[in-house]
Chains A and B, each alone.
Chain A
Amino acid sequence: MREYFHTVVWIATKDLRLLFRQPTSFLSTLMFCLLLVFIFGLTLNLVAVNTTQLLPAILWIILLLAAVLGMSHTFTHEKDNSCIQALCMAVTERSSIFLGKGLANLMFLLVIKVMIIPILFLFFDLQATINPLVLCLTLFFGGLGLACLGTLFNTLLINPGGLLIPILLFPIAIPLLISVIELTKVALGVSTQVHPWLLLMILFNLIFIVLAIVLYDYVLEV
């Protein structure tokens, strides 16, 4: 068990180190998010609506798109020189690759969020008092769910990739999206209902992490 988690951390560290050494993927995702914040801000300003009400939905649409775009790097560098075969041979349990890569993707998404959210709040001139605990919980579990789905679908569609990833991922992510948007509404003081959404969000994460671990031997066949 200890060796398993050691492998997970080792794979996550390797991926994060690669991201740090070649920051193009990270920077382009960040730039993409910044542009989306700008475009949403500009276009909604043109129609002059109450943006605080819309902020949770805008935030998660941006993060969902960023997750799909940003996580496409998960296996691209593994395809060169048949690194994926070497990676599969290096580990005893293939699910450790999923957890390692998922962990790296989660860190990637969390950093993007930390950088984007203050800018989003600034652009949308947020006046509401924020509940930091609910916001942090939502961002973490929301990120975890997106990282899990992103890693799973990027492995599954390692060869075709492209437009198929969002087509397959978006319908599956809907329950997560609903729960995180509802919880972000709570964090921004727009709503007060926490429990059902928190339950749904945690349940979604649990189900998909377990399902991915169980299925991963079939998912990653090289």
Chain B
Amino acid sequence: MLLLIFLSLLVLTNLALIGFYAPVEQTMGIVQKIFYYHLSSAWLGMVAFVVVFGASICFLRTRNIKWTIIALASAELGTIFTTLVLITGRLWARSIWNTWWTWDPRLMTTLVMWFMYLAYILLHHSGMVEEQTSRIAAIYGIISFVNVPLVFFSIRWWRSLHPVLITTSSSGLSSEMLITLLVSLFTFLVLYVTLMRIRVRILTLQQQILSISHRRRRG
């Protein structure tokens, strides 16, 4: 409950910062403000992928079903955040690049990541034996993670239209924009943690109900 109240306050603060504190970018105008949600969603998409990867390794080592539940919950949230990245990115691109879609490497790799998330979730609903599903999904989670560095480094590997905002020397943002961005990143992280807690709890309860019904059928 406390976490939910904290999250609500953070979301409101974040919205106020985006709306009133962060300045309007000179060349892009008001459309640039979508970037705070875009980048935060992208960062959470990555975080969710790292969690899937970590939980997959833990499952293969321990064979404890709780790791599968964590990985699945994280993959589901990752799908939502990656969908948000793709939608907000398209809205921004339409206004700035004058196109809904371009075959830019980073866009492409984000879309590939989205496909992998969906494939991962689909695996869990393929009707296999639970233990087998967990093992296959864990291995796929690890294999898919190899694609994440490609998402990160594609902008350096290929020529890209995508703006490089975070470089090693400077962020390319004004201090007000940077503060708003950092608050957005933190808000999204808290949102992810809250949703993860809820989803993991639901999946664990589902798991318990399933095992009880299996036991009753056998008994």
Residues in chain A within 8 A of chain B (CB atoms): 152, 156-157, 159-160, 164, 167-168, 170-172, 174-175, 196, 200, 207-208, 211, 215, 218-219, 221
> What is the chain A residue whose CB lies nearest that of B154?
A175
Give Cα A46–Cα B34 distance, bound, in whole angstroms: 43
B22 contacts across to A, CB distance below 8 A: none
* Inter-chain contact B150/A218, CB cutoff 8 Å: no
A172–B116 touching, CB < 8 Å: yes
By DSSP majority rule, is chain B's interface helix, strand, loop, or mixed? helix
**Complex CA–CA separation, A170 to B128 (angstroms):** 21
Query: Chain A contact residues: over half helix, strand or loop, or mixed?
Result: helix
Report the separation of the CA atoms of residues A159 and B150 in the bound assembly, to the nearest whole angstrom. Answer: 31
Within 8 A of A (CB), among B103-158: 108-109, 112, 115-116, 119, 122-123, 126-128, 132, 135-136, 138-140, 142-144, 146-147, 150, 157-158
Q: How many A-B residue pairs have CB under 8 A?
A: 54
Which residues of B are at the interface with A, using a C-beta cutoff of 8 A? 60, 108-109, 112, 115-116, 119, 122-123, 126-128, 132, 135-136, 138-140, 142-144, 146-147, 150, 157-158
Identify 6 new A-B residue pairs, CB closer than 8 A, beyond the known A171-B144, A211-B143: A164-B126, A171-B116, A172-B146, A174-B112, A219-B139, A221-B135
Q: How far is the CB of B46 from chain A (nearest CB, A)?
A: 16
Query: Given the complex of chains A and B, what is the CA–CA distance between A113 and B112 in angstroms?
Result: 27
- 18 CB contacts below 8 A, A to B, read A152-B143, A156-B139, A164-B123, A167-B122, A168-B119, A168-B123, A172-B116, A172-B143, A172-B147, A174-B109, A174-B112, A174-B147, A211-B142, A215-B139, A215-B142, A215-B143, A218-B138, A221-B135
